[in-house]
Amino acid sequence: MDLRLGVPAPATEQERAAVASVLGPAASGWDGGDRTPADGHMAVGGRAAREQRHLLLPVLHAVQERIGWISPGAVDHICARLTIPPAEAYGVASFYALFRTEPSPVAVVHVCDDVACRADGAERTCQEMERRFGPEGQGAAANGSGVTWQRSPCLGQCDHGSAALIQHAGADPARVVLAPFDPEQVRAALVPGTGVGSGGTAVPQAAADRSGLRLLRRVGQVEPGSIDAYRSAGGYEMLRRAVTAGPQGVLRELKDAKLVGRGGAAFPTGVKWEAVATNPVREHFVVCNADESEPGTFKDRVLMEQDPFALIEALTIMGYTCGARRGYIYIRGEYPIAESRLVEAVRQATDRGLLGADVLGEGFAFDIEVRRGAGAYIAGEETALFNSIEGKRAEPRNKPPFPAASGLFGKPTAINNVETLLCVLEVLRIGGPAFAAIGTANSTGTRLFCLSGAVRQPGLYEHDFGVTLREVIEAAGGLRDGRSLRAVLLGGAAGSFVGPDALDVPLTMEDLRVIGATLGSGVVVVIDDTVDVTDLLVRIARFFRDESCGQCVPCRVGTVRQEELLGRLARGAPLGSVQREIELFADIAAVTRDASICGLGQTAVSALSSALSLNLVGASGQADGGRGLA
């Protein structure tokens, strides 16, 4: 791509209109408009234009949704509007998987072949897509179908067993999720108004005894698109309670509850919020990390789709407690339904005075903006997410400084995921001590578990901390078709495999730590004897290779070496001997774990490490068993 300003093919009128839909019309030739004689005597833009840098991702989304790809001319025009060097803008556009910087058909089908879908036969689906639409990545002109398709990492629809996301550009752009997915659906999904889409949300407990549900208690009971329905079910009572208690009262309840983050790091929520609230530097920001990209995870999607106002209320409480006037919800680009419902929820809350300049008439201001990601697993790392909102590549920052001191836009920032924020509502509803009495002494409250794979009833389940893995699997109907259990992947691709001997281990942070496992984001992928575990590991290794941001050498090189090594083992062609390969992997794992600057590199080797310890790699990892590497 020619990165010089003034590329041979300037932005088209459609591209300019797409940019203007986000930035407004250009005021002069200095910011991408038509030049006039006055422009030769006066310069405008500068700092004011640069302060709009954070709008780069929304502008790139607008161009791609209108045209289908981001052309050099469009990049040139965007750079003129935002006063960004072309190399930087191209670096951002090329970083994210859902942006395309080469000519592309208007319709692109992303077919999930990640861990959960792969265990349910995603490879057969991909073979059928190739039969119908030609090889992966082949242009529409070559295959004569008008669409192109490509394999995709997890789309967060693991409860359905298969999934696809269709990006359709044009004057009326659309993103359509098909789950469960059948290649037969593609043609119909490209016709506006057909109603083709997701098969709904699987929360099996919602159809049975609901008495144990806390975070999921409104799912299936309250209309997600109506603020009146939410308020009639007790919505916004917790915000009033928070305002009555004051920021210190909220912090006291969170500390009494011993609430910790549900994203994997398990940092105490009250401590995090207090560090921001007491920071004298102004202004403060609060962020909801809804970039739920861990393979096998879909809990936050269900909450956002089925209970969006709860997240808006919880983030408002977070903003009030932390002294922030603005909050962001950063949602992954593969969640169009959740995004549209959150945008509508923000609009309704604003109209009712529950967001804006005087929330609830209590004299504090708070607004929320929903920001869409563009396909980058690494953006789930908190500092990478800040960079993405700021219009940069989603690359993690070195820490310290930590977000509570210097986060979004260099200001004190508190960030939590969706499940954690809904736990805050429950803490305020029943009180901190009562919340702490649920679960165990060090793992309090309930936890959401994303069940997928070889269970009879995949879906989202809520259990008290301390439930055993056996009980979680039995609640999902047990293994299907009378198959036998080979292993369970806990925590997603960044988690660990455990064997049948771990079925009676309590699912708490402290008990799993003893066996070298983690709950992570609540993923439970059940693997029976029909699943090729080695094939799953190869996909996990490819996932981390693709998703590494490349910023640090241990992760950039280590993930590649892991994939190469695993490929050799899978082919039965080790360098020297199997034992030598295992020793080599131990060296790679140690460096990647200890020297990577963020959690991606530090956990990229966990799945293979645990699989080797359980003898799941090689013939023993293939369907219907076999001998292990030894």
Q: What is the DSSP letter of 497?
A: E
- Placement of tokens 């940092």 in the chain: 267
Lowest-confidence pick of 19-33, 347-361, 445-459: 19-33
Q: What is the pLDDT of residues 130-186, one digit of tens each?
A: 999 889 987 655 556 678 999 999 999 999 989 999 999 999 999 999 999 999 999
> Using an 8 Å Cβ cutoff, are 603 and 541 in contact?
no
Res 273: pLDDT: 98
In the CATH scheme, what is the homologous superfamily, with its name and number, of domain 227-436?
NADH-ubiquinone oxidoreductase 51kDa subunit (3.40.50.11540)
Q: How far is CA 378 from CA 165, 332, 404, in A?
A: 20, 11, 20
Instruction: Give the tens place of pLDDT for each residue, 501-516.
Output: 999 999 999 999 999 9
Residue 602 is which amino acid? Q
CATH number of 533-621: 1.20.1440.230
447 residue type, one letter: R
**Assigned architecture for domain 107-189:** 3-Layer(aba) Sandwich (3.40)
Work out the pLDDT band at 630, boundaries 50, 70, 90.
Answer: very low
Rounded-to-integer distance, Cα 489 and Cα 511, Å? 16
pLDDT of residue 626: 42
| Model confidence pLDDT, tens digit, residues 261-299 | 998 788 999 999 999 999 999 999 999 999 999 999 999
| pTM, full prediction | 0.94
Spell out the domain ranges in the chain: 13-93, 107-189, 227-436, 446-528, 533-621
The 3 state secondary structure assigned to 432-490 is HHHHHCCECCCCECEEEEEEEECECCCEEEEEECCCEHHHHHHHCCCEHHHCCEEEEEE
| DSSP per-residue codes, 320-363 | HHHTEEEEEEEE-TT-HHHHHHHHHHHHHHHHTTSSBSSGGGSS
| CATH topology (fold) of 446-528 | Ubiquitin-like (UB roll) (3.10.20)
How far is the C-alpha of 614 from the C-alpha of 474, rounded, in Å?
23
List pLDDT tens digits, range 373-412: 999 999 999 999 999 999 999 999 999 999 999 999 999 9
Per-residue b or e along 414-425, where b marks 16 or more CB atoms closer than 10 Å to that residue's CB: bbbbbbbbbbbb
